[in-house]
Structures are given as C-alpha cells and as structure tokens.
Amino acid sequence: MTSPAPSQAAAAAPVAADKEAHKPSNFLRQIIEKDLLEGTYASRLWGGSPGDAAHHAAGPLDAAKVRLRFPPEPNGYLHVGHAKSICLNFGLARDYGGVCHLRFDDTNPEKEDTEYVDSIKDAVQWLGFDWHNAGETNLYQASDYFDFMYRAAEHLIETGYAYVDEQTADEIRINRGDFVKPGTDSPFRSRTPAENLARFREMRDGQLPDGAAVLRAKIDMASPNINLRDPAIYRIRRAHHHNTGDKWCIYPMYTFAHPIEDALEQITHSICTLEFEDQRPFYDWLLDRLAEGGLIATPHPRQYEFARLNLTYVLTSKRKLAQLVNEKRVNGWDDPRMPTIVGLRRRGYTPEALQLFAERIGVTKSDSWIDYSTLEGCLRETLDGSAPRAMAVLDPVKLVLTNWDEVMGAGTLDDCSAPIHPHHPELGKRDFKIGKEVWIDRSDYEETPPKGFFRLFPPHLNASKQAIAGSKVRLKYGHVIECIGAVKDADGKIIEVQAKLIPDTKSGTPGSDSVKVKGVITWVAVADAVPAEVRLYERLFREAQPEGGGVDFLTNLNADSLKVMRAYVEPSLASGGAIEAKADDKFQFERHGYFVADRVDHAAGRPVFNLAVGLKDSWGK
C-alpha cells in the first residue's frame, strides 16, 4: 500500500527558534544584553504633558521590553536584503522576549501603494514572523503620526530650531557646501519664530505652490557632517496619500519622521544599515530637542547600524528592480530570477532557507560580498531532508528496448517502485511502470563517449582501434540494459536510442546484482509519463557584481537565465499520485536538482515546475 506524501506545507513552515538555544553572538546582541542587564529602558519616563504620553494609540507599553521595528517603505516589493533585516529584527525580539513592530514609512505618497503594503505583510508572515504579541497588534504606519509630526515641527519653530526656507532647490544645494567648503546661511535663516510659524502654516494650508518652500532644522551650516547643515524636514507635495487621502499637502521627510516614529512607539534599539550612519547625529539631535520639550519619553531610542547585504549576481536597488519589471526584462516582481521575496518564494525558496541564510551570514559593521552559492546552499540544506524524490526527463529522447517483447511479453508493462524519501522509509513508496519504450535524457547517450562517461554508448572503436562493447547501465529502480545503437534523422540528430534488456536484473530481485554496472540513469516510461513544462533558471546577471566598474547593469543581463523545457515526469506527481504535485510543493528530481511546482501557473492538468537549485553548485563550471 502506498503511503501518503509528507505534508509539504508542514515541511515549509519555519521552525521557531528556542530562545534558550545557543545563538552566535554579535555586536547587536551584546548591546541588547548590556541594556537589559542595566535596565536602560526599564524606567523610561515621559517628561511632558499627559496628552503627549498618551499619544500612542495602543496605550501604555511595557517599557522593560526589548522593542524593535522593521520599517519598510511601501514603494515596491521586498528583496533578499529585507529578508535579512526581517529575520534580524523579529528574530532578536523573539530571542530576548520582546516585540518587533511592522511599520510602514509612508511619507512619500507619490511612490506608495496598498499593493506594496499587502505584499510586505505577506512577506513578513511567510518568513515566519508576526507583529502580534500578547494582545498587542504592533502594526503601524508613519501616516498615523502626521498630526504629531506637525506639532513637533511647530515646536521646533517656536523654540528657534527650525525655519522656512524659500530658496530654490538648486540654491539650497549650492549653499550647503561640500566636504571641503562649509555651507552658507540661507537669507531666510534669521526669520523670527513667529514669522516662520506663520509661513509654515501657509505651507500647510496650501497657500504656496509645490517646491516654493521647505521647513529646515536650524543646526549648523558649518558642520563637518553635511547631514547637520540645516536638513529639510518638511516639503510641499500635493499628492494623494493611500492612507490619509488629500488631508495634507505637506509631508515630513523620512529623516525627520523616522526617529519620531521610533520614539512614539517606544522602540529601544533602532537597527538600520550603514548608509544611515551619517544620519545618526540628526536622529539624536531631533529626539533630544523633542525630549527637552516633553514631547517624547526619555531615554529615547538609539540607532545602531549594521552592514547591508551585498550578494553576488544580485541587485537590491528597488528602483533598478522596478526598471527590470517596467521594461519587461523579467516577468514581474515575482519572476523566479528576481531577488525579491516573492520571486525567491516562486523559485522554491523556503522560510527556513532564508532564516538559515540570515543566521549563517551573521551581522557585522563591515561591508563585504556574500557569494550567491551561500544562499543556494541554505536551500539545498533545508530541502534535502523534506523534499520527496521523483524522476523527470528534462530533454527527452526515446529509448527502445528491442528485445522487450521476447523477454517480457508483447505489450507488457512491468511494475517498479521507489521510496518517497530515501532517509524516511516510513513515508512509503511511489509506483510507476516500465515498458518497451522509455524516455531518457538526451545527455545520457554519447555515440563516442568521452573519458569517464558511464552512461549509454554503442559498440565502437576507441582511439587505439580497439573494439569497445556497448555500455551496460541500470535504469534506476528497474533493469540493467545494454546499449546497441541509435537512430538518426536526415540531419544527423539522434531521435531514438536502442538497447537490449538483460533479463532477471530488476532492482529488488535476487538477480539485481548479477551484472555489475558503473552507470545508473533516470527515466520515465512512455506508457505512463506525464508531460510537464520545466523552467530552468540561472542567475539573472553574468557578472558577480552587475555594476562593477560603473557599467550599466543591463549590459550584464544573462540571456540564458531562463530555458523552458518540454519534459516528462513520473506519474506519482500527477493527480492522485503518491506525491501529487500541488502549487508550491517542492521535490528533488533525481540527478537534476530541487524543483517547485510553480505557485502561479501549475495546475493538475498542466504541471509546471521551476528549478529551485541544482544538487550542487555548478555555476560557471
């Protein structure tokens, strides 16, 4: 009796890490452990009015908890670099008994959309994390705080720390100076707080056109850190917002909004990538000013930076990924060649693989490149123990066993079986037939075999003119056969391979070891083969660093990154089979690699499989 296939949904579900389990230390863990030991945030207090303390809609939060956040901008689909950040932030919160917020930094309405909001939520949950914790629903968006941000901006104006600048964008850029030359004060910098407040309210009320003015923090135009040379914190932008509609025509800059969001949500450790390191002084400056005014709690959050993910053969710029999509160089955000989370998922990547990858590459403060093979290795490692096995012929040519009728009987089909998983006999077996005609991979036959070729070749003379007999190989789980030749078409292409069946050599029978062979090939019987579309994917770019040397990344696109094959797979994968393939199910096609039933195009009557990863790293070899 055939046992049911293992539950692949269960196999794909990420295993929650035991927070007591040993985790490799890194500088972020050391910081968190020190703060927990010293109770840094355990006594966080509000210095202002009750109205400010109660601003957070979720009510009082546990100040003693580690509280982190993952703050994507909903202007595109998340990629593998975001997956690392998700695993890092949610994983640290899990390991230290804290919480992690999912917050949408939706301060740029022209580029944002609810489609991206939904895709981000789906990605976080698919990776095995959640923003619900002990009754808290820690799902937020920057736009929830626009009213408070406006009050904070007015507070900075009233205390002399912000002013409305009406220079043009080019004038502001020129007068900011550079790394050698200090900035020049704006002619509007000396306005009184009352004048700035009136003008800012005119910005808010739509009395000024887009680009006519910005609100700038007043810090130090001679600062060696250019980010402190009076950065813009509000701009006029008449754009419909997916959450607030047309309520606002001014929007906060990300660098102003982000620290306020962290403070209002009582984040303890604000973890970001190294490109924000130069912004940290402004982060602290702003929160210090707001704490002085009693608008936020103290001690306020602290920002810590880690090196972003640089993965070979991959781009992680949302803008450039969008370009690939918009120019139809790939088939959408979820194209299996894309490094987006939806693309990786459709390619066959699992949450466990991405979590293992994030843990394996670690967290550092030094930029470095991670080889793509590391990511692929994590997928192999997680699929090896769970993926059912199956046989598939990707580039089929017919093999005819010329003596089948006389040995086995005309029209006879013989029963064969194989384990669903070689290391899990309890899962049972899969059954299929063998007959006179089977499909084999074209690469399994060579008329003149190269050295070390142990598959099918006919009788021939070697280089020394010695007669070499046709090869003997085993049809895996079936019989031993002896190759006798092939049939070619008018153009010399092999259209049929011919061999003889060696009687009494079937796998699992007493005679199975009577003939020793070096070669074993996979096959599918013509009688019960299931036609399938198989998509073979390679890396999207030919070069490890697609923009290396300043070249246009489009010139490095790999023209062979997708090859579509008309293949045959064993009947066990068909509807009602022992390992019936359903969308998103993963399998090891023996000798070929790990494949996934395409989560979009696969159907019971039209199977479609994507190559997830080969059995070993063979890129460029």
Active site residues: 73, 308, 318
CA–CA distance, 590 with 444 (Å, rounded to integer): 14
Q: Tokens in use for 135?
A: 């009754």
- Which of helix, strand or coil describes residue 379? helix
Query: Which burial class, exposed, middle or buried, applies to 117 when counting CB atoms under 10 A from its CB (0-12, 13-18, 19+)?
Result: middle
Contact 404, 500 (CB under 8 A): no
The H-or-E segment that residue 392 falls in is strand 392-393
| Mutual angle of helices 146-158 and 254-264, in 10-degree steps | 110
In a 3-state reduction of DSSP, which class is residue 384? helix
Contacts of 312 (CB under 8 A, 6+ apart): 369, 370, 371, 372, 544, 545
Distance spanning both ends of the chain, measured CA to CA: 43
Q: How many Å apart are CA 120 and CA 104, to the nearest integer?
A: 9
Q: Peptide bond before 299: cis, by omega within 30 degrees of 0? A: yes
Quickly count: other Cβ atoms within 10 Å of residue 541's Cβ. 22
Which amino acid, one-letter code, is at 523? Answer: W
Please, which residues have CB within 8 angstroms of residue 484's CB and are 6 or more apart in sequence? 402, 458, 459, 470, 498, 499, 500
In a 13 Å sphere around the CA of 558, the CA atoms on its Cβ side amount to 20
C-alpha dist (Å) from residue 355 to 1, 89, 273: 37, 12, 18
Interacting residues of 327 by C-beta distance below 8 A, sequence separation 6+: none
The span from the CA of 167 to the CA of 110, in Å, is 23
Q: Beta partners for 439?
A: 398, 524
Ranges of beta strands (E only) in 53-181 are 67-70, 99-104, 132-133, 136-137, 139-141, 162-165
